[in-house]
Amino acid sequence: MQRRHIDLVEVRPFLAIDLDVDEESVHDLRCGGILERLVRHDMAPVARRIADRQQDRPIQPLRLGERFSVPGAPVHRVVTVLQKIGAGLMGQEILGHRPLAAWDRRADSIAEAEPPSSGDTVFALSSGQPPAGVAVIRASGPGVRFGLETLLGRIPEPRHATLATLRTADGEPLDRALVLFFPAPASFTGEDVCELHVHGGRAVVAAVLRALGELPGFRPAEPGAFTRRAFVNGRADLTEVEGIADLVAAETEMQRRLAIGQAGGGLRRLAETWRTRLVEARAFLEAELDFSDEDDVPETLANLSDAIADSVAREIEAHLGDAAFAERVRSGFEVVLLGAPNVGKSSLLNALAKREVAIVTAEAGTTRDTIEVRMDLDGYAVTLVDTAGLRETDNLIEREGVRRARARGEAADLVLLLSDGDEGSRFALPDTSASVLRVRSKADLNAIDSDPNRWDVAISAPTGQGLDALRQAIAASLGLRRAGPDPLVTRERQRIELEQACTALRAASTESVIELKAERLRQAGDAIGRLTGRIDVDDWLDVIFREFCIGK
């Protein structure tokens, strides 16, 4: 038994349906779903091929051009319902819908169809750029069912992979594809969503995208369009949206772990718990304020409220303690190599990167500018920065290189201070709050100083001596040998909102007036609401979704 696209059925007969359930429930359905509810509804017989008491059973197949016969049942109740739906939910379009039929592939013919008019439908290539083995093209919006009817001639069974030939509106084959359909609201965006898994050739992808773009109401998606619709439709909160963006951008194992925790709702669930407890604390204050004259209201309610606020504040502070580290994990740590000219900084950079990145010569001062290499160190993203040798010079270019080297050293997370043991290689270390590892280079050429405590590690870049010990020392200095659960607060925005919440909670504990104490708790709750996107987040949305790629 094949189900037919409900928008391609003559609808005037359904104006005679006498609903026997709450008419207002129809308002919760949208577009084709409105008519599908009317067809599936447990009702008295209203048309040929629809039996009484057959709720949630599909319509029998319609032959090309076949229509339902018009019954003579009362019409006033359905007319009232349809009038209430309004243009935004396709109400005006329903009454003017033309009789249509699904086009028959075997007959190679197609009837002209009109897509739903409520909102637009976005589409994009969601996988990598072609050529590739498979390309995934995603579409979301009220026109998805219409688009599937046009390209496939039918609506696939929800959440089942369907192999089908995609065709243009003229019946020209585009590709043999695997098609998935996710009806609203149980989809990533909360709207009707489809995925077309086509061959990943450039011409195939371009042809399918062009066919989608020619459909009325369809437009190419901007970066983050699908995730933004998920947020607007309540399928994800703001922290989960940020986690999805970080998951797409993750380069290392730790970045992936932090992102998957965010995208999975770890911070959202914690924030909801905090918010619920603060509501309880405010309720205690309201009870003491409103019923202070009653004998059965204990005088310790304000103390209970303070205890809850203090507990939440301490938990927030504990998570804020990990925030700085988590932000660095997300963005990556920066390790800067500093030292006098020709002490082996560029050789060490090449050895750690395991490729020729910087030019190495016997001539001092070869490196004039900073050179950056991104690497994975025990699952953490680390950027190594080679710099110009530090010395006094009259050369304008080299002088600028020295200035940049000192500036990068001051802003670094860790400085590797290299020396080959020569007294002439010593210099004044730039002011920096970063940890410093003193590295003895060229250990294979020069004898180690009599005082080995002057160096944290001795290495030889050409032979590899000491490089494993140096990697371990770098990881330890950056704090990468951490135990315990992964941090949840990973972004500056999140940290700012939680700091404001914590400030308000600490201020509440110092207030003696109950009304002011309650106001501080409200401020804390609002900050947590902004964290998850419940309130006042319009200014952040464009900033966050700008980080997404097209197709996500």
Q: According to the model, what pLDDT value does residue 46 have?
A: 33
* 365 known ligand binder: yes
* 537 known ligand binder: no
CB atoms within 10 A of CB 100: 19
Contacts 24+ apart (CB under 8 A), 253-258: 253/376, 253/379, 254/329, 254/379, 254/380, 254/381, 254/486, 255/329, 255/330, 255/381, 257/486, 258/326, 258/329, 258/330, 258/486, 258/487, 258/490
Q: Which amino acid is at 470?
A: L
Q: According to the model, what pLDDT value does residue 424 have?
A: 53
Q: According to the model, what pLDDT value does residue 194 have?
A: 98
pTM for this entry: 0.70
Q: According to the model, what pLDDT value does residue 420 have?
A: 84
pLDDT per residue as tens, the chain (552 positions): 333 333 444 444 444 444 443 333 333 333 344 444 444 433 333 333 333 333 333 333 333 333 333 333 333 333 333 443 433 333 333 332 323 233 233 223 333 334 444 479 999 999 988 999 999 999 999 999 999 999 999 999 999 999 999 999 889 999 999 999 999 999 999 999 999 999 999 999 999 999 999 999 999 999 999 999 999 999 999 999 999 999 999 999 999 999 999 999 999 999 999 999 999 999 888 877 766 555 555 557 888 899 999 999 999 999 999 999 999 999 999 999 999 888 889 899 999 998 888 777 666 666 778 899 999 998 999 999 999 888 888 888 888 988 999 999 999 999 999 988 765 555 666 667 778 999 999 888 766 555 566 789 999 998 999 999 999 999 999 999 887 788 999 999 999 999 999 999 999 989 888 889 999 999 999 999 999 988 765 655 665 666 666 665
* 343 known ligand binder: yes
* 509 known ligand binder: no
State the Cα–Cα distance between residues 352 and 459, nearest whole angstrom.
Answer: 11
* Secondary structure (3-state) at 70: coil
* 388 known ligand binder: yes
Specify the length of the chain in residues. Answer: 552
* 363 known ligand binder: yes
* Secondary structure (3-state) at 125: strand
Domains of the chain and CATH, by start = 121-233 (3.30.1360.120), 332-478 (3.40.50.300)
* 344 known ligand binder: yes
Q: Which amino acid is at 181?
A: F
* 147 known ligand binder: no
* 195 known ligand binder: yes
Q: Which amino acid is at 251?
A: E
3-class secondary structure per residue, 330-388:
HHCEEEEEEECCCCCHHHHHHHHHCCCCCCCCCCCCCCCCCEEEEEEECCEEEEEEECC
* 389 known ligand binder: yes
State the Cα–Cα distance between residues 421 and 449, nearest whole angstrom.
Answer: 7
What token pair was written down for 230? 């998920």
* 347 known ligand binder: yes
* Secondary structure (3-state) at 549: coil
Q: According to the model, what pLDDT value does residue 446 have?
A: 65
State the Cα–Cα distance between residues 201 and 175, nearest whole angstrom.
Answer: 11
* 386 known ligand binder: yes
State the Cα–Cα distance between residues 117 and 97, nearest whole angstrom.
Answer: 12
Q: According to the model, what pLDDT value does residue 296 have?
A: 54
What token pair was written down for 446? 């020069």
* 366 known ligand binder: yes
Cis peptide before 487 (omega within 30 of 0): no
Q: According to the model, what pLDDT value does residue 143 have?
A: 95
Q: Alpha carbon of 82 to those of 118, 119, 305, 497: distances in Å?
A: 15, 19, 50, 45
Element (H, E) at 449: none
* 552 known ligand binder: yes
Q: According to the model, what pLDDT value does residue 53 have?
A: 35
CB atoms within 10 A of CB 173: 10
* 138 known ligand binder: yes
* 463 known ligand binder: no
* 109 known ligand binder: no
